[in-house]
Chain A
Amino acid sequence: MILVYAESNNKKFKKSSYEAISYGKKLSELINSDFTVITIGKNLDHSILKEYGANDIVHIPIDPKDNYDDEFYSNIISDYFNKKNFDIIIVSNTNHGKSITPSISLTTNCSLITNVVELPSSIEPFIIKKKVFSNKAYANYEISNKKKIISISPNSFGIKEIKSNSNTEFKELSPDIDYTSKLNSISINKNSDKISLPEADLVVSAGRGLKGPENWKMIEELSQVLGAATACSKPVSDIGWRPHSEHVGQTGISINPELYIAIGISGAIQHLAGVSSSKNIVVINTDKDAPFFKAADYGIVGDAFDVIPKLISEIKKFKSDN
């Protein structure tokens, strides 16, 4: 039996939860098993989960004192898993996912595998693929433990919408969890309403070729017309032109969007490590020999200050025509 944890934040399910449910649905078909979706938090609208195949939902309508208290979530999920004899837990490898799975693995005796990119390639024995060496390679692991936690790298498996006519079982539970937090949360600063980088389908990224922070206006505008998240190379965040949370690459965030547009970024091996699994890469660079072109699908040799305004107006035109 499979348990999928559908993560939510501020009363909304995260996009990565839909991917986790899609994965759980496919895996349940593959191994011929039922799957249950567990959700935690007050005032959530569950109707949307059905579109990804969730037809058995267990909801825990409580919020911890502090929404980001990982241990609270670990305890609830472990508790439910242990009571109901599940074998597999599916989560998304978000910051929250990463923070709760080690603890859950210990309290449920599950083997933990993170950064998974595909469905298992074999069920007996159970073999599954994860990213290693910061996207420079994959490793297939054979897991001998019947119980396991599979943590999926966001955007790697994808969201699969389905038409389901079956009824959804919906149950609310209020477990009595005896719990006091070990940490004291003082405040939370949200990065406005922007799309979160690891979950984004489209990403516009810029590097040192932009010359200075004041030139990010056009990058912001491009990302806005596309509905994309913004990212940057490491030196750009090191100098403080952009926040650290936008730094992608081997020592920053690793992403797999549908589209990655790299502007004024040379394509150093450490940068490529974090972005090369993007499904489509566009590179815009003045230097025709920039290494990034070798990893790109589409390239423009040109000056960002000339190309980007043109690209913005072409996309606006396209959007208004379509």
Chain B
Amino acid sequence: MKILVCISHVPDTTSKIDFVDDREFDTSGISFVINPYDEFGLTKSVFIKENNGANITVLCVGDSSCESSLRKALAIGADEAVRIDHIPKDSLNIAKLIYDYIKDKEYDLIITGRESIDYNSGVVPGLISKMLNIPFVNACIGLDIKDNVVHLKREIDGGIEVLESNFPILIAGQKGLVEEKDLKIPSMRGIMMARKKTLSVVKPENDLQSSLKLNKYEKPIVKASCKMVDSNNIEELVELLHREAKVI
């Protein structure tokens, strides 16, 4: 089985977000990691490889800075890595580049994350599956393979759906695909082996246009100070919620 895992390379979740002139994300002092949603998919792919046998390619569209995340994915257990050399700014272009690269490679299972925690669009997976015209399971929280049938679970609004599909399929995953405690971290041996694995860089052929242009970034308004209420005077809180906040 051939598995493709798409990862984005994002600021660590503890990052304080700041901008230069409201136009550019200030990366000074920021450490980048594999997108947390993609980590669940990556570990899942390694479990599938251990149980069913598989070859795992990990892919990122980005500049050379993404290679640290790709190397980490190799150390966790992917077999080869691909970086599509492009500075990503537009989800549609990212999807097109990934599609162009994979369209004739016949992956059985394509694993992405539900959302990239930097630009939060949640659209790259749906775009790729539509371009490939293969089934798409969003917000996937469970995947098992038995007798060449894929058994899936996904979150829907207000519940959970259990589904089946044939290969090829694309899923957008999150926690639940594997549990938090089972997430793989690179071992010393993994890191050594990763050095011998291939990381290829693909240069896109065409220049891509974009219909979206960043105009400016903004930061949320900081709250005024917090009003403290005495724990023996809960009535006052209820009163404030009613009269001032007008929420009850």
Which A residues contact B (CB, under 8 angstroms)? 9, 14, 68, 70-71, 94-96, 98-103, 105-107, 111-115, 127, 129-145, 182-191, 194, 196, 198, 201-202, 226, 238, 244-245, 247, 250-251, 254, 258-259, 269-270, 273, 276-277, 279-283, 293-303, 306-307, 310-311, 314-315, 318, 322
CB of A168 to closest CB in B, whole Å: 26
Which B residues contact A (CB, under 8 angstroms)? 11, 13-17, 19, 36-37, 91-92, 95, 117-127, 129-131, 134-139, 141, 155-165, 174-176, 179-181, 211-220, 223, 226-231, 234-235, 237-238, 240-242, 245, 247-248
Q: Is the CB of A244 within 8 A of B175?
A: yes
Closest to A253 in B: B155
Q: Is the CB of A296 within 8 A of B223?
A: yes
CB of A300 to closest CB in B, whole Å: 5
Q: Is the CB of A300 within 8 A of B229?
A: yes
Q: How far is the CA of A212 from the CA of B125 in the complex (A)?
A: 37
Q: Is the CB of A315 within 8 A of B118?
A: no
Q: How far is the CA of A13 from the CA of B218 in the complex (A)?
A: 33
Which of A129, A183, A194, A297 is within 8 Å of B163, CB to CB?
A: A183
Beyond A100-B126, A300-B234, A307-B231, 20 additional pairs, beta carbon < 8 A = A101-B123, A102-B129, A133-B117, A137-B217, A137-B219, A140-B215, A182-B134, A183-B135, A185-B161, A185-B163, A258-B247, A276-B220, A281-B223, A297-B223, A298-B227, A298-B237, A301-B231, A311-B237, A315-B238, A315-B248
Q: Is the CB of A115 within 8 A of B163?
A: no
Q: How far is the CA of A302 from the CA of B237 in the complex (A)?
A: 13
Q: List 24 A-B contacts (CB under 8 A).
A: A70-B136, A99-B126, A99-B139, A102-B130, A103-B136, A112-B123, A130-B120, A134-B120, A141-B213, A183-B164, A186-B163, A186-B164, A226-B248, A250-B36, A251-B37, A298-B237, A299-B228, A299-B229, A300-B228, A300-B237, A311-B238, A314-B235, A318-B238, A322-B242
Ordered nearest first, which 5 A-B pairs have the shortest CB separation? A102-B126, A302-B231, A182-B135, A145-B211, A140-B215
Q: Is the CB of B217 within 8 A of A298?
A: no
Closest to B18 in A: A137
Closest to B114 in A: A98
- CB neighbours (8 Å) of A95 from chain B are 138-139, 155-157
Asked if A299 meets B215 with Cβ closer than 8 Å, knowing A182-B165, A185-B161, the reply is: no
Q: Is the CB of B162 within 8 A of A186?
A: yes
Asked if A318 meets B242 with Cβ closer than 8 Å, knowing A95-B156, A251-B36, the reply is: yes
Interchain Cβ contacts within 8 Å, total number:
256
Q: Is the CB of B238 within 8 A of A191?
A: no
Q: How far is the CA of A94 from the CA of B163 in the complex (A)?
A: 20
Asked if A183 meets B137 with Cβ closer than 8 Å, knowing A101-B123, A298-B226, the reply is: yes
Closest to A96 in B: B157
Q: Is the CB of A259 within 8 A of B247?
A: yes
Q: How far is the CA of A182 from the CA of B214 in the complex (A)?
A: 36
CB of B218 to closest CB in A, whole Å: 4
Closest to A138 in B: B218
Q: How far is the CA of A313 from the CA of B114 in the complex (A)?
A: 41
Q: Is the CB of B245 within 8 A of A188?
A: no
Q: Is the CB of B240 within 8 A of A132?
A: no
- CB neighbours (8 Å) of A300 from chain B are 228-231, 234, 237
- CB neighbours (8 Å) of B214 from chain A are 139-142
Q: How far is the CA of A97 from the CA of B196 in the complex (A)?
A: 43
- CB neighbours (8 Å) of A70 from chain B are 136, 138
